[in-house]
C-alpha cells in the first residue's frame, strides 16, 4: 500500500495496541505508553492516532466493557489488523537493515 | 473492599466532571465519536478524582476537553450502517402511514394542493398583468402624454387625450424628446376588395415613427417602406389571411367605399398580442389627415400621443416645462384649463384607473387589484401550509412509538429530524403535482372569468419551474421542521410507553388555528362587503331607465336616412320608441365651454354636454323638475337654441338666486344666445364611483348622431332585435347590423370590479374550505387523544350532548378569538376601500355577525362530526385500549 507511513507516535501507539491484546482502548494505551516507554501524552493525541490508524486500516475497533466510572459508556476496544502487523514488521525490518549495514556505529562524545 | 466501592460510588455521585466542559466536548466532537471519547475522559477524571485532589482532576479534565478540539474533524461512518436500507424503510413507513390514515393524508395533501393551485393560477394571472407592454424594447423611455383638464365647475379630471399639434412641436422644442407618435383610431372601418366588403376591426392612424418606437413586428415588408405614400396600409396577419387568403397581400388595394380612396397594403405585421394596451388590426399614417387646420388645431383633444425620451431624462423637470409650452402655443389662459403630464408606458395598463376618456387601453386593470390578488394568493397558501404543519404535528402523536423504536435502536436526533423533514418535503412535492393537475382542470374557467390569455406553459420554463420547486421545497421544509423537532425531541421511554407528548405545546397549534381562521374570516367579510357594494351600484336607480334598450352606432350614410330609420322602426310591433344621441350613456361625456347671462353679465363656464333627440327625456323616463323637456312643438328647440340642464348645473347657474329656467344660454359653436327651458333631475351617466357632473342637453341643428337607441317591448327580445335588423339591412344593405344592449354596456363599466370580486369570492371560498379541512383534521386528532377521558366521562354519566360540548368548547374559543382579531382589521380596511365610492353601502354589523356565526358554525360542524362519533361510541371500546 503506497502512501501509508507510520508516524513515530503512531508506531508507538500501534505497538501498545498490539501488546495490550484484548484490552486496548485509549485510556489503557495512554498509561501503557507512560509505563513502557515513559512517553507522556494527552488522551486527545491518543484518540487522534487511533482513529487515523483506523481510517488507514491498521487497526479495527469494537465496543465493549461499559463501566460506571465511564458514565455507563462503552469502551472502544482496538485490535491490530493483519495489515497493521505487516506494517509493524516492515518498519522493524527497515530499521534493522540500517543497523546491519552500520555495525561500527558507536556513541562518540 | 466494601469501603472502596462505597468510596467510588460516593465520588461518582458527588463529583461529576464539570458540566459545561462536558457540554463543550459534546459540541466539539462529532456525534458518532462522542460516546467513546466522553467515556475515556470520564474514566480518566474519575481515576484522578480518586487518586488526587478533585480540583486538579477538574482542571485536567478541562485540559483534556480543550485539547480534544484537535479531533473536531474526526468523523466515523457508523459501522454496519447501510443508508439505502434505512431510506427504503423511511419511504415504506411514510407510505404505510399515509395509507393507514387515509382521510388525514387526503386532507393534508389535498388541502395543500388546493392552496398551491390557487396560488399558481393567481401567479399566472399576475404575471400576465405585469407583462402588459413589456415586449417593447424601448419601453423604459416611452411615455404617454396625458392631460389634466379643469373646465369651470366640472371637477379636474385626468384624460388620456392630447392635441394633434402637440407631438411634432414637443419634438421640435425639447431636445429631451427623441421621437413621438400619435395614435388616432378610426374605429371599425368598412373596406372593399374586389367588390367584396369587409370590416377591419380597428384602423389606427399613426405617425411613421410608430413601428420604430413600438415593437410590433412586421412579417412582410419592411419598416422604412411601410408608410412612404399617403395611403399606405399595414395590416395584421389575420386580416391578410381573411381578405387575401393565400395570395401575397403586398401591393393589394383596398377601397374605402365612402371616401373613394384606395389604400395600398405595404406590409403585414404579426397580430397584436393580447398583452398590449394598444389593439389594432391595421395602421395608416397620419399624412392623409395632416391639413394645416389640424396642424394648428390647438384646443381639440381627440388622440393619444406617445413620446420617446432620451435615456436618463428627469420626468418632473420636463413636465415642469410643459406649462411654458402650452402658453407659447395657446396663450396664458390655456393654463386655466390644461396641464400636461407624462405616464410611463409600464403604468398605462395598470395605472390608468383614474384616467377618463381612455379609449385605447385594452383590458385596463387596477394595480391595487393585482396587489389584492397577490396578497390573497399568499394568504391562501399560508393557510394551506399552516394546515399542513398543524396536521403533521398532530399526527406526531400517533407516531411516537415509531420514534421510540428508532431511537432505542440507535437513531440520532438529527436522523429523525431529517426523516420527518424529508417526508414533509416529499408530501409537498406530491401536493404540487396534484396542484398542477388542478390547475390544468380549472384554468379554462379562470380564463373565462377574467378574460385573459393564460397558459400553463409558463411554469414549464426551466427558471420558473425551478422557482416553483424551490418554493415547494421551502414550504415542505418550513412546515416539516416544527413537527420534526417535536418528534425527534421525544423521550424514547415515554414515546414507547405511548403516552402522547404532543399535548404540551398545543398552544402553538392553537395560535396557528386562530391565525388561519382570522385570515379566512377577514377574506370572507371583505368579499361580501365588496360584492354587496358592486351589486348595490349595478342595481342603483341611475335616474333613467336603461333596461330594454338596444343601441347601434350611426354612420354618415345612416344619418342621412335617420328620419326614415326612426319611423320605420317605430312601425314595428315590438318596438316602443326610438331616439338618438351624440354620445352613449355610460361613458364619461365630452365637455365644452358655455356662456350664460346672469343679470347683465355674460359669464363663461364649462360643462359636460350631450346632444339628444327631442324625445330623449321620454325615452329614458327622465324626470323634469322644472320647466319642460325639449319638444318638436317649439321651433327654437329644433334649431339648437333650447337647453335642458341637470340639477348640478342648475345649482351652479342659479347660485346667486337667479331663475335658471328662461336664462339666456349658449355653447361652443352657436353664436346667438338661446334659452334654458328646463331642469332635469340628476342622473348617473357614468360609473357610480364618480359623482354627477354639470350637464346640459340640447338638440342639434341637423341630424348628425353617433348612435340611435331603440326601446323594445319586454318579453320578445329576440323578435324585437330581428325586427330592428330587418329594418336596418333593408335601409343600409352595405352596413352589417351590429347592436348592444345598454344595460350590458353599463355592466361592462364594472367589468374589472366584477372580475375582481368573482376571483376573490372563489379564493375566499377556498380559504374557508382549506381552513375547515385543517380544523377537521386537527379536531379528529384532539378527539383521538382524549378518547379515554371521554370514555371515563361517559361511564361517570356524561350525556352525548355534554361530551360534544366539552370537545367543541376549545374550538369555539379559538374561532371567537380569530373573529375578534379579524373583525376590526377588516372593518378598517373595507371602510377605506368604500371611501373611494360616491354611492356606497354602509358596512353594518350584520355582515360581521353573519360571517362570524357562519364560520363558528362551520368550525362547530367540523368538530362535532368528530366529537359526536366519540360521544356515541361505547365506553368499553374506548377504555379497553391499552
- The span from the CA of A22 to the CA of B354, in Å, is 90
Asked if residue B10 has pLDDT above 60, the reply is no
The set of cell numbers assigned to B585 is: 350613456
The residues with which B301 forms a beta bridge, in sequence order, are B163
Computed over every residue of chain B, the mean pLDDT equals: 84
Which residue in B34, B40, B62 has the most chain A C-beta atoms within 10 A of its own C-beta, making it the best mutation to test that interface? Answer: B40
Considering only CA atoms, which of B649, B642, B818, B619 is closest in space to residue B712?
B619
Asked if residue B499 has pLDDT above 60, the reply is no
Task: Output the pLDDT for position B692.
Answer: 79
Beta carbons of B39 and A74 less than 8 Å apart: yes
Residue B79 Rama label (left phi>0; alpha psi -120 to 50; beta): beta
- For residue B15, the chain A residue with the least C-alpha distance is A69
- For residue A61, the chain B residue with the least C-alpha distance is B79
Q: Which residues of B touch A76 (CB under 8 A)?
A: 36, 39
- The span from the CA of B349 to the CA of A69, in Å, is 79
- The span from the CA of B865 to the CA of B783, in Å, is 11
Top-confidence residue, B132 or B103: B132
Q: Which of B35, B64, B71 sits opposite A73 (nearest CB)?
A: B35
Q: Which of A26, A48, A66 sits opposite B70 (nearest CB)?
A: A48
Q: How far is B46 from chain A (nearest CA, A)?
A: 6
Q: How far is A40 from chain B (nearest CA, A)?
A: 13
Q: How far is A28 from chain B (nearest CA, A)?
A: 9
Asked if residue A2 has pLDDT above 80, the reply is no
The set of cell numbers assigned to B641 is: 337654441
Which residue in A31, A69, A75, A77 has the most chain B C-beta atoms within 10 A of its own C-beta, making it the best mutation to test that interface? Answer: A69
Yes or no: say if B651 and B626 are a contact pair by the CB < 8 Å rule: no
* Average pLDDT estimate for B718-734: 88
What pTM, to 2 d.p., does this model score? 0.72
Residue B796: exposed, middle, or buried by beta-carbon count in 10 A (0-12, 13-18, 19+)?
exposed
Considering only CA atoms, which of B280, B177, B286 is closest in space to residue B231?
B286
Tell me phi and psi for residue B21, to 5 degrees: -65, -40
DSSP label of B692: P
Q: Among B2-6, B169-173, B629-633, B826-830, whose mean pLDDT is lowest?
A: B2-6
Q: How far is A26 from chain B (nearest CA, A)?
A: 7
Top-confidence residue, A98 or B393: A98
Task: Output the pLDDT for position B13.
Answer: 52
- For residue A54, the chain B residue with the least C-alpha distance is B76
Q: Which of B39, B70, B74 sits opposite A73 (nearest CB)?
A: B39
The set of cell numbers assigned to B681 is: 333631475
* Average pLDDT estimate for A28-45: 92
Residue B602 — pLDDT band, cuts 50, 70, 90? confident
pLDDT above 70 coverage of chain A, percent: 91
Top-confidence residue, B615 or B669: B615
Q: What is the pLDDT of residues B543-595, one digit of tens each?
A: 788 888 898 888 878 888 888 888 888 888 888 899 988 888 877 677 777 88
For B335-361, the DSSP string reads: HHHEEEEEEEHHHHTTS-TTEES--S-
Asked if residue B143 has pLDDT above 80, the reply is yes
Hey, where are the domains in chain A?
A: 8-101
- For residue B61, the chain A residue with the least C-alpha distance is A43
Q: Which residues of A touch B44 (CB under 8 A)?
A: 27, 43
Asked if residue B77 has pLDDT above 80, the reply is no
Asked if residue B302 has pLDDT above 80, the reply is yes
- For residue B44, the chain A residue with the least C-alpha distance is A27
What residues 61-100 of chain A have any CB closer than 8 A to a CB of chain B?
Answer: 63, 66-71, 73-76
Q: Which residues of B touch A43 (CB under 8 A)?
A: 40-41, 44, 64, 67-68
Residue B331 Rama label (left phi>0; alpha psi -120 to 50; beta): left
Q: Among B54-68, B178-192, B503-517, whose mean pLDDT is lowest?
A: B503-517
Task: Output the pLDDT for position B2.
Answer: 46
The residues with which B232 forms a beta bridge, in sequence order, are B264
Beta carbons of A43 and B41 less than 8 Å apart: yes
What residues 39-68 of chain A have any CB closer than 8 A to a CB of chain B?
Answer: 42-45, 47-48, 51, 63, 66-68
The set of cell numbers assigned to B698 is: 340640447
Q: How far is B89 from chain A (nearest CA, A)?
A: 26
pLDDT above 90 coverage of chain B, percent: 20
Q: Which residues of A touch B67 (CB under 8 A)?
A: 42-45
Q: Which of B38, B47, B76 sits opposite A71 (nearest CB)?
A: B38
Q: Which residues of B touch A51 (CB under 8 A)?
A: 33, 71, 74, 76
Task: Output the pLDDT for position B14.
Answer: 54
Q: Which of A51, A68, A74 sits opposite B74 (nearest CB)?
A: A51
Considering only CA atoms, which of B191, B169, B193, B192 is closest in space to residue B182?
B169
Query: What's A8-101's CATH class?
Result: mainly alpha
- State the first-to-last Cα distance of chain A, in angstroms, to the nearest integer: 40
Asked if residue B660 has pLDDT above 70, the reply is yes
Q: What is the pLDDT of residues B404-457, one digit of tens each?
A: 888 888 788 888 888 889 889 999 999 999 999 999 999 988 888 888 888 888
pLDDT above 70 coverage of chain B, percent: 94
DSSP label of B52: S
Task: Output the pLDDT for position B156.
Answer: 78
CB pairs under 8 A between A and B: 68
* Average pLDDT estimate for B760-787: 81
- For residue B12, the chain A residue with the least C-alpha distance is A69
Beta carbons of A51 and B76 less than 8 Å apart: yes
Q: Among A22-31, B232-241, B404-413, B570-579, whose mean pLDDT is lowest?
A: B404-413
Q: How far is B418 from chain A (nearest CA, A)?
A: 26
Asked if residue B742 has pLDDT above 60, the reply is yes
Asked if residue B599 has pLDDT above 80, the reply is no
Asked if residue B316 has pLDDT above 90, the reply is yes
Q: Which of B36, B44, B70 sits opposite A76 (nearest CB)?
A: B36
Q: How far is A105 from chain B (nearest CA, A)?
A: 40
Task: Output the pLDDT for position B81.
Answer: 59
Task: Output the pLDDT for position B584.
Answer: 83
Asked if residue B690 has pLDDT above 50, the reply is yes
Q: What is the pLDDT of residues B811-852, one digit of tens each?
A: 888 889 999 999 999 999 888 888 877 778 888 888 889 888
Asked if residue B1 has pLDDT above 50, the reply is no
Q: Which residues of A touch B30 (CB under 8 A)?
A: none
Helices (H) and strands (E) in chain A, counts: 4, 2
- The span from the CA of B377 to the CA of B527, in Å, is 14
Top-confidence residue, B268 or B462: B268
In three-state secondary structure terms, B808 is: helix
Which residue in A25, A28, A30, A47 has the most chain B C-beta atoms within 10 A of its own C-beta, making it the best mutation to test that interface? Answer: A47
In three-state secondary structure terms, B423 is: helix
Task: Output the pLDDT for position B504.
Answer: 52
Which residue in B5, B14, B35, B39 has the most chain A C-beta atoms within 10 A of its own C-beta, making it the best mutation to test that interface? Answer: B39
- ipTM of the prediction: 0.90
Task: Output the pLDDT for position B12.
Answer: 52
Amino acid at each position: 500500500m503506497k502512501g501509508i507511513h507510520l508516524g513515530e507516535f503512531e508506531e508507538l501507539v500501534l505497538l501498545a495496541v498490539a501488546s495490550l491484546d484484548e484490552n486496548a482502548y485509549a485510556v489503557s494505551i495512554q498509561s501503557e505508553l507512560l509505563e513502557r516507554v515513559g512517553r507522556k501524552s494527552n488522551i486527545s493525541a491518543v484518540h487522534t492516532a487511533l482513529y487515523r490508524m483506523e481510517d488507514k486500516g491498521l487497526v479495527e475497533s469494537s465496543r465493549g466493557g461499559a463501566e460506571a466510572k465511564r458514565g455507563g459508556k462503552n469502551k472502544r476496544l482496538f485490535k491490530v489488523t493483519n495489515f497493521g502487523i505487516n506494517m509493524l514488521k516492515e518498519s522493524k525490518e527497515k530499521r534493522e537493515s540500517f543497523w546491519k549495514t552500520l555495525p561500527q556505529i558507536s556513541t562518540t562524545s | 473492599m466494601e469501603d472502596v466501592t462505597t468510596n467510588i460510588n460516593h465520588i461518582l455521585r458527588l463529583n461529576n466532571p464539570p458540566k459545561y466542559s462536558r457540554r463543550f466536548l459534546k459540541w466539539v466532537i462529532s456525534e458518532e465519536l462522542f460516546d467513546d471519547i466522553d467515556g475515556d475522559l470520564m474514566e480518566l477524571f474519575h481515576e484522578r478524582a480518586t487518586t488526587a485532589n478533585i480540583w486538579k482532576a477538574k482542571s485536567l479534565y478541562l485540559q483534556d476537553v480543550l485539547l480534544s478540539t484537535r479531533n473536531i474533524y474526526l468523523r466515523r461512518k457508523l459501522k454496519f450502517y447501510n443508508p439505502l436500507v434505512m431510506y427504503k424503510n423511511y419511504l415504506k413507513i411514510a407510505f404505510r402511514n399515509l395509507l393507514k390514515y387515509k382521510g388525514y393524508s387526503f386532507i393534508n395533501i389535498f388541502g395543500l394542493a388546493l392552496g398551491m393551485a390557487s396560488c399558481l393560477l393567481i401567479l399566472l394571472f399576475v404575471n400576465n398583468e405585469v407583462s402588459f407592454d413589456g415586449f417593447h424594447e424601448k419601453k423604459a423611455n416611452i411615455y404617454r402624454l396625458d392631460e389634466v383638464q379643469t373646465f369651470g365647475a366640472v371637477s379636474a379630471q385626468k384624460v388620456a387625450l392630447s392635441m394633434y399639434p402637440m407631438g411634432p412641436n414637443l419634438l421640435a422644442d425639447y431636445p429631451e424628446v427623441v421621437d413621438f407618435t400619435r395614435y388616432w383610431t378610426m374605429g371599425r372601418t368598412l373596406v372593399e376588395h374586389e367588390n367584396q366588403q369587409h370590416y377591419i376591426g380597428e384602423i389606427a392612424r399613426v405617425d411613421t415613427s410608430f413601428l420604430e418606437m413600438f415593437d410590433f413586428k412586421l412579417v412582410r415588408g419592411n419598416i422604412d417602406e411601410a408608410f412612404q405614400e399617403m395611403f399606405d396600409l399595414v395590416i395584421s396577419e389575420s386580416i391578410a389571411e381573411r381578405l387575401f387568403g393565400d395570395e401575397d397581400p403586398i401591393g393589394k388595394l383596398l377601397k374605402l367605399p365612402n371616401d373613394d380612396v384606395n389604400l395600398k397594403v405595404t406590409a403585414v405585421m404579426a397580430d397584436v398580442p393580447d398583452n398590449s394596451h394598444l389593439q389594432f388590426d391595421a395602421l395608416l399614417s397620419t399624412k392623409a389627415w395632416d391639413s394645416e387646420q389640424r396642424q394648428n388645431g390647438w384646443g381639440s383633444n381627440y388622440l393619444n400621443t406617445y413620446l420617446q425620451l432620451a435615456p436618463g431624462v428627469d420626468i418632473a423637470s420636463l413636465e415642469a416645462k410643459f406649462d411654458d409650452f402650452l402658453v407659447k402655443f395657446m396663450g396664458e389662459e390655456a393654463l386655466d384649463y390644461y396641464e400636461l403630464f407624462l405616464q410611463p408606458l409600464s403604468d398605462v395598463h395598470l395605472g390608468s384607473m383614474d384616467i377618463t376618456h381612455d379609449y385605447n387601453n385594452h383590458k385596463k386593470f387596477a394595480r391595487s387589484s393585482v396587489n389584492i390578488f397577490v396578497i390573497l394568493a399568499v394568504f391562501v397558501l399560508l393557510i394551506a401550509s399552516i394546515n399542513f404543519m398543524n396536521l403533521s404535528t398532530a399526527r406526531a402523536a400517533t407516531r411516537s412509538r415509531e420514534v421510540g423504536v428508532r431511537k432505542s435502536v440507535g437513531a440520532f436526533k438529527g436522523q429523525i429530524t431529517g426523516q420527518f423533514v424529508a417526508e414533509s418535503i416529499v408530501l409537498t412535492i406530491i401536493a404540487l403535482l396534484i396542484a398542477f393537475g388542478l390547475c390544468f382542470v380549472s384554468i379554462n374557467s379562470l380564463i373565462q372569468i377574467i378574460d385573459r390569455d393564460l397558459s400553463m406553459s409558463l411554469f414549464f420554463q426551466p427558471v420558473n419551474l425551478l422557482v416553483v420547486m424551490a418554493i415547494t421545497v421551502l414550504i415542505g421544509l418550513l412546515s416539516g421542521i416544527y413537527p420534526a423537532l417535536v418528534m425527534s425531541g421525544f423521550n424514547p421511554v415515554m414515546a414507547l410507553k405511548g403516552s402522547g407528548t404532543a399535548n404540551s405545546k398545543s398552544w402553538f397549534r392553537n395560535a396557528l388555528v386562530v391565525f388561519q381562521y382570522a385570515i379566512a374570516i377577514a377574506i370572507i367579510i371583505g368579499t361580501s362587503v365588496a360584492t354587496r357594494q358592486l351589486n348595490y351600484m349595478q342595481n342603483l336607480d341611475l335616474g333613467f331607465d336603461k333596461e330594454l334598450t338596444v343601441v347601434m352606432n350611426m354612420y354618415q350614410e345612416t344619418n342621412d336616412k335617420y328620419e326614415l330609420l326612426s319611423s320605420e322602426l317605430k312601425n314595428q310591433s315590438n318596438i316602443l320608441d326610438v331616439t338618438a344621441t351624440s354620445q352613449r350613456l355610460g361613458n364619461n361625456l365630452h365637455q365644452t365651454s358655455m356662456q350664460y347671462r346672469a343679470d347683465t353679465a355674460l359669464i363663461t363656464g364649462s360643462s359636460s354636454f350631450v346632444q339628444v333627440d327631442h324625445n330623449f327625456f321620454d325615452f329614458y323616463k327622465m324626470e323634469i323638475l322644472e320647466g319642460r323637456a325639449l319638444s318638436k312643438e317649439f321651433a327654437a328647440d329644433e334649431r339648437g337654441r333650447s337647453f335642458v340642464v341637470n340639477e348640478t348645473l342648475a345649482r351652479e347657474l342659479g347660485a346667486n338666486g337667479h331663475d335658471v329656467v328662461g336664462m339666456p344660454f349658449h355653447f361652443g359653436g352657436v353664436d346667438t344666445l338661446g334659452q334654458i327651458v328646463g331642469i332635469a333631475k340628476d342622473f348617473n351617466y357614468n360609473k357610480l364611483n364618480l359623482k354627477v357632473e354639470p350637464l346640459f342637453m340640447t338638440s342639434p341643428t341637423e341630424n348628425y348622431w353617433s348612435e340611435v337607441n331603440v326601446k323594445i317591448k319586454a318579453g320578445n327580445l329576440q323578435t324585437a332585435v330581428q325586427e330592428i335588423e330587418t329594418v336596418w339591412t333593408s335601409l343600409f344593405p352595405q352596413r352589417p347590423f351590429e347592436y348592444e344592449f345598454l344595460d350590458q354596456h353599463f355592466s361592462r363599466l364594472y367589468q374589472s370590479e366584477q372580475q375582481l370580486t368573482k376571483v376573490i369570492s372563489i379564493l375566499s371560498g377556498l380559504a374557508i374550505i382549506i381552513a375547515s379541512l385543517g380544523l377537521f383534521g386537527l379536531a379528529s386528532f384532539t378527539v383521538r387523544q382524549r378518547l379515554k377521558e371521554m370514555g371515563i366521562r361517559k361511564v361517570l354519566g356524561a350525556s352525548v350532548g355534554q361530551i360534544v360540548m366539552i370537545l367543541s368548547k376549545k374550538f369555539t374559543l379559538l374561532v371567537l378569538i380569530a373573529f375578534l382579531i379579524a373583525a376590526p382589521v377588516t372593518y378598517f380596511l373595507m371602510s377605506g376601500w368604500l371611501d373611494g365610492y360616491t354611492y356606497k353601502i354602509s358596512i353594518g354589523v350584520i355582515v360581521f355577525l353573519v360571517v362570524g356565526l357562519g364560520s363558528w358554525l362551520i368550525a362547530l360542524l367540523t368538530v362535532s362530526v368528530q366529537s359526536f362519533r366519540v360521544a356515541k361510541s361505547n365506553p368499553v371500546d374506548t377504555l379497553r385500549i391499552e
